[in-house]
Structure 1
Amino acid sequence: MSIQHELEDFLDYLGTARRLSPHTLSAYRNDLSGFITFCEQQSLNSVDAADSAHIRYFIGQRRSASAAAVSIQRLLSALRSLYRFRMRHRDAKQNPAIGISAPKRPKRLPKTLDVDMIKQLLEFDGDDIIDIRDRAMMELFYSSGLRLAELATLNVGDLDLNDALVTVTGKGNKTRTLPIGRVAIAALREWLKIRDSLAADQALFLGQRGGRLGHRAIQQRIRYRAIQQGLPAHVHPHMLRHSFASHLLESSSDLRGVQELLGHANLSTTQVYTHLDFQHLAQVYDKAHPRATRKASNEQD
């Protein structure tokens, strides 16, 4: 088996046995293709011939090329997965990527829109088909905290508007059922009245040609609506999800409940929103407490 075929063998395993999404498989391929090229340049006839020194050298090359810390972390994770597979299923003797640390990435809090900005974004004028579709799509994003991929793959049958529920398939092909708010239900009902006349496709949100609306098109529509409403051009679908989580946490302080709604496997992933919540409380404190802020000129030694 050639070294390129070893990569294809691993990707085939991820797609069939692990049932990873095409998007995730593409990310693995992109990350590992560079390593396969590196191995060929080092005259290694198999990935199993690489040792820890090779891995460190390869990672060093990526760092010298100014690869971001998050990219190197993801690359090392892909390499460890590759070698775990080789050891379990192809009789490899070692995992040379174990014990190699990646640079720490800077902690960045997710960007959100406050309640007033969400209101400004979602309450746009227009009653054309595209307006009705965009309104339903964006209301559902914010109402249920969906990921972009989750919304893009929704079918009409995934909605139960009588019980105000939507069933989505998230990461790892895990499904969860989420509540839909009153405003989103009204917007979806209006959209469903007209979408059936556009195509027989089961996709919930359709493009102008009658096919399923893709990821890029959804991103562009939200960006367009943000600019139309006088908001920053960098508004994106995940910002609606972040805003959903932050606003729920501000109101309820139920971290585990928000974790379930977001579909996070680990509570630590959800805990980032506690920092956002604290920022909000700190701003309230600064504005409301009589001794929260004092000008330096008023202070006495």
Structure 2
Amino acid sequence: MAIKKVATGWQVDLRPEGREGKRVRKTFPKLVQAKNWETDQKAKALTGEWAAPQKDKRRLTELVNTWHELHGYTLKDSENLLRVLTATCKRLGDPVATSLTSEDWLIYRKKRLKQKVHNRDKFVEPKTINHEQIYLSAVFNKLIRLKNWRHENPLKGVSKLPIDEPDLSYLEKDQIKVLLAALESSINPNVLTITKICLSTGARWGEAEKLHAEHVRHGKLHFVGTKNSKARAVPVSEELIKEILTGRPSSGRLFKETSYRAFENGIKRAKLVLPGGQKTHILRHTFASHYMINDGNILKLKYILGHGSLAMTIRYAKLAPNHLAEALTKNPLATL
């Protein structure tokens, strides 16, 4: 009985209570962790505090369902998260959770990269697999904190797949004019106004579409029930406020039906080609991009967009007119 090197780290193999006692084995990524655990188990055996660990036979889907019952249901889009996690578990073969290793995950994602998206002639993107990893890892971490899972997170320390940063896509001024003109001819009475709200505030389409009359006050639009649950208020012009309120309910939701399809049709009529997965989100990118092009403040932009961290907003900084301007004067050719 000893500590030995194995493929996944350092394995402790011992009988804390002596030769006739229960045998336990546990693997750690670092030797020092293995030694500390071995010492701790022996100490507990000497004081009579040691008890043989009970095997956790729960399968991965059971673990995910437990997470959802204890915590997941409180999250935004919880049902969709549960659906994605359940599908991931099934693709992994729904193993007993304690048997899942980081190696299993690495093999899984290699195969996943070669799978085609359902009904599409394209492969699963690294971004999709990274989201699966983030969600599943979060399940283990939360259950560990709740003391419902008494083992290591098998995905701990597994780096995500590298992804090239996409170029920022947004509408130029002439494209915005063409789009607004196309939406003016729509039979949908709300699509043009909702589009203007998104372009004026950087709001997500769903946030603008769910605005209540009570949320329009003091020259600002107040967005509540947002993606990260943080309310925010953004000032808009009197002209836009008048357009928003005219002919619409004085209380409750201003826009009764969804206008997403009408926006899609407007994009087609305007003959605009958008990056994959953009659609209405191009309006949010357009607001943020023009805000920085017009020398806006990056910290204020973070608040306006409702981002949880500056890291999400900083990508727009490169559009500021003075961003890296010193490269013109401080490069070696300029200083010869």
Fold shared by both chains (TM-score > 0.5): yes
- What are the equivalent positions in structure 2 for 1:118-267 lying under 5 Å apart? 118-124=176-182, 130-131=188-189, 133-160=190-217, 162-190=218-246, 193=247, 195-196=248-249, 202-207=252-257, 213=258, 217-218=259-260, 220-232=261-273, 236-267=279-310
The question of whether the paired residues in 2 share the 8 Å contact of 1:73 and 1:102 is answered with yes
Match among 144, 157, 160 for residue 102 of structure 1: 160
Structure 1 residues 123 and 189, CA gap change in structure 2 (3 angstroms): farther
The structure with the larger Rg is 2
The question of whether the paired residues in 2 share the 8 Å contact of 1:255 and 1:271 is answered with yes
In the other structure, the counterpart of 1:299 is none
Match among 33, 49, 68 for residue 99 of structure 2: 49
How big is each residue's C-alpha offset from its partner over 1:28-51, in whole Å with a ceiling of 9 and x where there is no partner? Answer: 5314422244243xxx3x323312
Structure 1 residues 196 and 129, CA gap change in structure 2 (3 angstroms): farther
SS of the residue corresponding to residue 188 of structure 2 reads helix
Cα distance between partner residues in 2 of 1:166 and 1:81: 31
Matched, 1:117 2:160: no
Structure 1 residues 239 and 221, CA gap change in structure 2 (3 angstroms): same
Considering Cα pairs closer than 8 Å and 6+ residues apart, tell me whether 1 or 2 has the greater RCO.
1
Shift in Å, 1:223: 2.0
Match among 80, 95, 100 for residue 26 of structure 1: 80
Cα distance between partner residues in 1 of 2:72 and 2:152: 24
SS of the residue corresponding to residue 97 of structure 1 reads coil
Cα distance between partner residues in 1 of 2:86 and 2:318: 34
Structure 1 residues 129 and 148, CA gap change in structure 2 (3 angstroms): same
Shift in Å, 1:263: 0.7
Shift in Å, 1:253: 3.4
The question of whether the paired residues in 1 share the 8 Å contact of 2:60 and 2:89 is answered with no
Matched, 1:83 2:147: no
Cα distance between partner residues in 2 of 1:127 and 1:72: 41
The question of whether the paired residues in 2 share the 8 Å contact of 1:155 and 1:204 is answered with yes
TM-score by length of 1: 0.74
How big is each residue's C-alpha offset from its partner over 1:125-150, in whole Å with a ceiling of 9 and x where there is no partner? Answer: 7588724x222111111111101232
Let me know the Cα RMSD of the aligned residues. 3.0
Cα distance between partner residues in 2 of 1:102 and 1:227: 36
Match of 1:237, as an amino acid?
T
Matched, 1:268 2:311: yes
- Aligned identity (percent) is 21
Cα distance between partner residues in 2 of 1:105 and 1:139: 32
Farther off after superposition, 142-151 or 271-280? 271-280
Match of 1:92, as an amino acid?
R
Cα distance between partner residues in 2 of 1:273 and 1:86: 36
Structure 1 residues 85 and 126, CA gap change in structure 2 (3 angstroms): closer
TM-score by length of 2: 0.67
The question of whether the paired residues in 1 share the 8 Å contact of 2:191 and 2:262 is answered with yes
Structure 2: which 5+ residue stretches go unaligned? 1-57, 116-122, 329-336
In the other structure, the counterpart of 1:291 is none
Instruction: State how many pairs are aligned.
Output: 259
Relative to total residues, which structure has the larger helix share, 1 or 2? 1
Structure 1 residues 205 and 112, CA gap change in structure 2 (3 angstroms): same
Structure 1 residues 196 and 170, CA gap change in structure 2 (3 angstroms): closer
SS of the residue corresponding to residue 233 of structure 2 reads strand
The question of whether the paired residues in 1 share the 8 Å contact of 2:219 and 2:238 is answered with no
Cα distance between partner residues in 2 of 1:278 and 1:28: 43
SS of the residue corresponding to residue 169 of structure 1 reads coil
Cα distance between partner residues in 1 of 2:181 and 2:322: 26
